[in-house]
Every structure is written in structure tokens, then in C-alpha cells.
Amino acid sequence: MSFTKKIQIDTSISSILKIIIPLILSCLSSNLMFLIDRFILMRYSLDAMNAAMLGGNLAGNYVFLLMAIAGTTEIFVGQYNGAGEYDKIAAPVWQMIYLVIFAAIFYVPIGYFSEYLNLIPECYAKDGVAYQRILTYFCWMPGLAAAFIGFFVGRGQTKIITAIVILGNIINAVLDYLLVFGFGNMIPSCGCKGAAVATIIAEAIQILILATGFWSSKNRQLFHTAKNYKFNKKLFGKCLKIGLPMALGRSAELFAWYLIYAALSHVSKDLATVQGIATTVYVLIAFICDSLSKGTAAISANFIGKCDLVSIGLIIKKITIITLALCFSFILPLLVSPRLLCGILGSLNEDIAHLYPMLSIIFKIQFICITIESQCAVLWGVLVSGGDTKYINIANMGCLWGFVVFPVALLYMFDMLHSAVLVHLLSICWLFSCLLLLYGRYKSLKWYKSIIH
């Protein structure tokens, strides 16, 4: 497993796939960690799954707030790598390490007061708050991992990330089962708390390996990873300028879905279960969007470093073709037979057969949403690589809150929120309107002109 390579990125399909495929596997593996947590908790108890979903969604808000900023290392590393300025590559990683250390100080008291910082229904409060509190105490860890990951992804060295994330998944799956269900008299059953602890241990191991690679002797020689540790106020500010709008946008998006989930859970347990299962399935398939956005951003950043706008246009066309192929490959079998997913759920201890019709409809809608969202992800990655994060997040939030959150809030207020299907239908409006706005922004070239002037 090599931590040290100077990689040249071009517009060929093979070069694109070398970046995209490891990221696809990595993002799939990351989402599988989430899926494994929820599936094991489903087997343990549907109430435990719903509690973890509610508590985890809010804790996830804190996680992605920091990850979105720390992940900007990918952009700066990519630009420095494309420009051949290898001696500057480690500097943005160090700035984000300092940010994570500073943020960790604030997350501890937030975790302590988790009991008062949630909208979890009383029936899920005990497990949900415990799950939320543990994750919140350590929600700075994914941000630290994101800072290190940017060092490798920005240089096109993604295989190491795939290996680390897969290892983390294996560790998480084993620990999940042992800590959730217990193991004889040796390990007591911990339920939701066990799932949270398993996730933290897996993340800690991933960070340890990433840090070892970052500070390896060869990386210290090639990229000065041990020398560029000084706090750079100007570079730190640039990272915040790009990352903060992304962080606030991502946080607002997650909080929006948290409110929607909370509203459905307050209506009935069935709606909470349907939304919990639908969210779990969505997160599994959403690896397509996550990987495409990261891959496009990393590749585009390298061409921005070379001031090569033509190549960025070619990259978009080729990744769009790859995107459509991916969507149809993963989505079509489930569209033809959505009951495959319901069949898997049939092994649960609780009977949810009466929810299958609603779930089947929602699965079909979700797959339409993923196809649209994957196209958004390609454009999103290009705009992010140019630092144009304020516009894309305002556009995304405006569409999400306008087309989904406010209508759902009105339905809840007037006691008309009786199905989760409408929520997912509204999501199509949100994503399609967002796609149009992102495409218009890309064609305007404002994201690129701000860099070259």
C-alpha cells in the first residue's frame, strides 16, 4: 500500500476511472457502514433503529458541518498538485487539523446537553439521546479524517482511501454485532450505545492509518508534511471561505431532513419506520453522488491549477456518461423488482408487511431522485473546485426548503401529513430545480472567472 506518488491527471476515460472507481468503492463502503449500523439495529429492534436514525441525524449535522470545511483540503491539494507546487500541498491539511482541534473543544459541551438539543419523540428518547450524545462527543473525528483524505484524493491517490474505508467497515460490522447484541457473558448487549461505540472505534483506526501515511518518511521528503505545520492565517481564511458556505449548506440540508423525519415520527410509528428504511436505502445508493462529486472536484481542481477550461468541459461530458451508466446499472434491477428490498426486510422480528406498498412506491421515486442528483453532483464538483460554494449552497437550500420543507411543515401543522410518499415526490421538484440552477451557473463561467482575474 503506497502512500507516496506524484500522479498526473488527464482527460482520458482511463485517467478519470482511476480517480472515480476507487472513490465509488470508498463511498459505497462508507455508506455500507451506515447501512450495517441501521440493519443490525433493525434486527435488534425497530424502535432502536428509529431512535438511532433520529439521534444520528442530528449528530450527523455536527459531523458534516466540520467535514465540509475540513474536506476543502482536497481542493487546495488538487490545485497545488496541478500547478506542480508540491512543497505547498501539506499546508492546507495542517490548517484543517488546527480547525478540528479547535472545534473539538465545543463539541463536548454540545454532546453533554444532547438531552435538551433534539426533537426526538418520548418513545425513542432514551436510546436516541444516548446514541446522539456518544456520537456528538466524537463528531470531530470524521472532520480530521476528511482533512487527511483530501491530501490523498487531491493528488489522485485514491486506492489507499478505498482500502482504509473497507477495513473500517469490516471492523465496524464485527464490533456492531458484538456490542449491539452482546456476546455471552463476556460482552453485554448495549443496543444503540454499542452501535455508536463501534462506529467511533472504526473511525479512530482509519484516522490512525491516514495520519501514518501523511507523516510517512517519503511524504515528509516529497511534500514537506512535517515542515508546513505553521498556522497560516491567509490559507486558513481561504479554506473557510470555500468550506464554510458548504458546511452551512450541508448543515441546513441535514437539519431540513431531520425536521422532516421528526415530523413523520411524531405523526406515527409507521411513518417513522417507513422514512427510516427509505433513508437507509437512499444512503446506500447515494454513494454514486458522493463519489462523483468528490471525483469531479479533485479532477477539475487539477485542471484549474493548469488554467485549462477546455479539459474541464471534456471531463463533465465523460463523467456524465459514466454517471448515467452507473445509475442504470445500480437502479434498474431494483426498479424492476423493488420487492427484493422488502424481501430482505421480511427477516425482521416485527411484521411490517403492511408498509410494503408504500415502501415500493418510495423506492421507485428515490431512484429517479438519485439519477437527477447524480447529474447535480457532477456540476457541483466542478463549481466547488472553483471555490464557487456560496451560490450552489444557496441554490440547493432555497430549492430544498421551498419545495420540500415548507410544504411538509404546512401539512404537519394542518394535520394532513398522512404519507411519506408525498415527501419523496416533492424531492423530485427540489432536485430538478437545483439541477437547472447549477447548469446555468456552470454555463455562466462566473465560477471560473473569479479565479483567473
Contacts of 121 (CB under 8 A, 6+ apart): 54, 262, 265, 266, 272
| Cβ(18)–Cβ(151) below 8 Å | no
Domain for residue 8, yes or no? no
Domain boundaries, position 185:
13-452
- Condensed to tens digits (0 to 9), the pLDDT of residues 418-452 reads 989 999 999 999 999 999 999 999 988 887 765 54
Spans in the chain with pLDDT lower than 70: 1-11, 22-32, 34, 284, 330-351, 449-453
The DSSP bridge partners found for residue 183 are 187
Rounded-to-integer distance, Cα 214 and Cα 219, Å = 6
Domain for residue 24, yes or no? yes
What is the number of domains present in the chain? 1
Domain for residue 7, yes or no? no
| Cβ(260)–Cβ(345) below 8 Å | no
Domain for residue 155, yes or no? yes
The DSSP bridge partners found for residue 187 are 183
pTM of the model: 0.74
Domain for residue 133, yes or no? yes
Domain for residue 280, yes or no? yes
Show the cell assigned to 301: 481542481
Q: Which pLDDT score, from 0 to 100, does residue 349 have?
A: 55
- Average pLDDT value over all residues in the chain: 84
- Condensed to tens digits (0 to 9), the pLDDT of residues 340-399 reads 555 555 445 566 778 878 888 888 888 888 889 888 988 988 888 887 888 888 899 999
Domain for residue 3, yes or no? no
Domain for residue 297, yes or no? yes
- Condensed to tens digits (0 to 9), the pLDDT of residues 231-262 reads 999 999 999 988 888 788 878 888 898 899 88
| 120-125: Cβ within 8 A, 24+ apart | 120/51, 120/54, 120/55, 120/262, 120/265, 121/54, 121/262, 121/265, 121/266, 121/272, 123/47, 123/269, 124/47, 124/50, 124/51, 124/54, 124/55, 124/265, 124/272, 125/51
| Cβ(387)–Cβ(452) below 8 Å | no
